[in-house]
Amino acid sequence: MTDLQPVFCGNFEYNINVREIERLFDDFGPIERVDMKSGYAFVFMRDSRDGDDAIHKLDGMEFGRRRRPLRVEWAKVGMKHILHFMMIHFAFMHLLVHSPACLCSCSSSGKAVPLLTSFYT
């Protein structure tokens, strides 16, 4: 079963390296890749059942020199696209309220023609 949904692993120390994350997840099954950022990583397991096992065993486990409790869960796939849409929508609404002239286009007759005619109706 190959679906490669990433497992989010967060709250570890900033000086941790990819190999330490791989060692942490190795016991649960094959790892396709690890995308690491500062303090968190996305671990791509080859099988979602392995990801479930890792989440169940590692979430809340103390890790590192400072014994920080790990936060391990399925990554929120698609949130980036939802947030991007919301930002565009907010910007459009701001223009509609504060600068409605920006939402018009000039016609060949030189008159302003609204680009939107039935917004929220």
pLDDT tens, residue by residue, 23-49: 999 999 999 999 998 889 999 999 999
Tens digit of each residue's pLDDT (9 = 90 or more) over 97-106: 555 555 554 4
Q: What integer pLDDT is reported at residue 120 of this predicted model?
A: 42
Rounded-to-integer distance, Cα 105 and Cα 110, Å: 9
CB-based contacts of 55, cutoff 8 Å, min separation 6: 7, 72, 73, 74
CB-based contacts of 68, cutoff 8 Å, min separation 6: 11, 12, 13, 62
